[in-house]
Homo-oligomer: A and B are copies of this chain.
Amino acid sequence: MPSPSPLAPEHIPVLPPIAGIVLASANCGIRYKGRRDLMVALLDPGTTIAGVFTKSKTRGAPVDWCRAGLKRGKARAIVVNSGNSNTFTGRAGVEVVKRTAAAMAKLAKCAPGEVFISSTGVIGEPPPADKIVDALPATAKSARADAAAWRNAAEAILTTDTFPKLATRTASIDGVTVTLNGFCKGSGMIAPDMATMLAYLFTDATIPAKVLQDMLSASNERSFNSITVDGDTSTSDTVLLCATGKAKHKRVARANDPRLKDFRRALDGMMIDLAQQIIRDGEGAQKFVTIRVIGAVSAKAARNVGLAIGNSPLVKTALAAGDANWGRIVMAVGKSGERVERDTLAIAVGGVRIADQGGPVPGYDEAPVAEHMTGREIEIDVDLGLGRGKATVWTCDLTHGYIDINGGYRS
């Protein structure tokens, strides 16, 4: 693995076991030498599952498979390979997914539809079905519940990420403590064509699949759907959330059940933590940027304005240069397509308001802003002055590193 991003977290979390889950990983030689490239999670009977996926129209065969499997809401195994995305691979790709699911189902003694599959890596190359299927029996046999198994699983799904991305939380449901573990990959395409964001989340809570799905979709909007590295959308994005039902709390029937309030908080927190780790590993990233938008006509409008800023190459190159170039933020807000009034818009950088009422703030102090811009963590606040909609978006700067990484790949 290359040396960690300058924005990497100081410590990699140590994950506790979760009742009903064991994990394994292996090196089956798909693309990388001497690195794990296969991850298997085995889930006890009774595990429910929810998922959200890329909206890409050219999504990979594993994504189609997972979407179909979600209808049952039950999961017994997850199989993930890195090094090949099994995307735009035609009928052969579909066959690989079916073969993998059948082989894993036999080992886990479950239906193929209870096996969930993801692939991440290069697009349009024949997927290595034999390597995966041949490696499954020994890999599954080696599955463990301990911290090392979680860490190794998180490493097995990476492509050219510079650090493994893990998070854990606890929550109380009706007085019973449950655990949430999760890990993800995604680099904002540190190695492009591996343009994928994958996340696997687990809990011992007892939650029906429908309720799990509602909570996952809501938290996903505030976490993985609120980050951007370069605005390019993967063909393989997948987030799965599994609940083993081993925790003995009262049954919950709806996502807005007040007894799930603390769980929702913990799920939100864990997913935002993982999403931010992806930004901290953004390709070529030198700065971690938080964009808070308030005063929008809706939360969706606020997020779209935040993403317009976070996706603007001009804003991102200015950030890389340490230039609080608020004129470019005005430009990005203007092109967002959302309802915006030039004369109610206010912009602050590093907590200092520098523009409002349709113009620059007369005599604002540039010195603290310039100082803020030299740091690793940049804060941009935008008040649209129209309504109560708000959102936070996270992004990174656009540097020469991005060009090097994305121009140098595949050769």
CB distance from A189 to the nearest CB of B (A): 6
**Complex: how many Å from CA A93 to CA B317?**
27
CB of A305, distance to nearest CB on chain B (Å): 10
Interface membership of A81, Cβ < 8 A = no
CB-based contact A232/B58 at 8 Å: no
Chain B residue with minimal CB distance to A93?
B359
- CB under 8 Å from chain B, chain A span 357-411: 357-360, 398-400, 402-403, 406-411
Alpha-carbon separation in the docked complex, A327 to B236 (Å): 12
- Beyond A59-B342, A317-B192, is A123–B408 a contact (Cβ under 8 Å)? no
Decide if the interface of chain A is mainly helix, strand, loop or mixed.
loop
Binary contact track A162-196/B, C-beta < 8 Å → 1, others 0: 00000000000000000000000000010011010
Task: Given A233-B334, A330-B88, A331-B233, decide whether A124 and B323 contact each other with a Cβ distance below 8 A.
Answer: no
Task: Tell me which residues across on chain B come within 8 A of A318, comparing CB atoms.
Answer: 192, 406-407, 410
Q: Say yes or no for A335: interface residue by CB 8 A criterion.
A: yes
Q: Interface extent on A, as a size class? A: 35 or more
Contacts of A55 in B (CB 8 A): 335
Kindly list chain B residues whose C-beta atoms are within 8 Å of the C-beta of A340.
57-58
Asked if A341 is at the interface of the complex by the 8 Å CB criterion, the answer is yes
Residues of chain B within 8 A (CB-CB) of A343 are: 90
Instruction: Note all chain B residues with C-beta closer than 8 A to A320.
Output: 403, 407
Let me know if B400 and A189 touch, CB within 8 A.
Answer: no
Q: Which of B235, B311, B407, B409 contacts A330 (CB 8 A)?
A: B235
- Minimum CB–CB distance from A86 to chain B (whole Å) comes to 11
**CB of A149 within 8 Å of the partner chain:** no
Query: In the bound complex, do residue B313 and residue A87 qualify as a contact, i.e. CB atoms below 8 Å apart?
Result: no
What are 15 A-B contacts defined by CB distance under 8 Å?
A56-B331, A56-B334, A87-B327, A88-B358, A189-B314, A193-B331, A195-B314, A232-B314, A233-B331, A234-B331, A313-B402, A318-B407, A320-B403, A400-B400, A403-B403
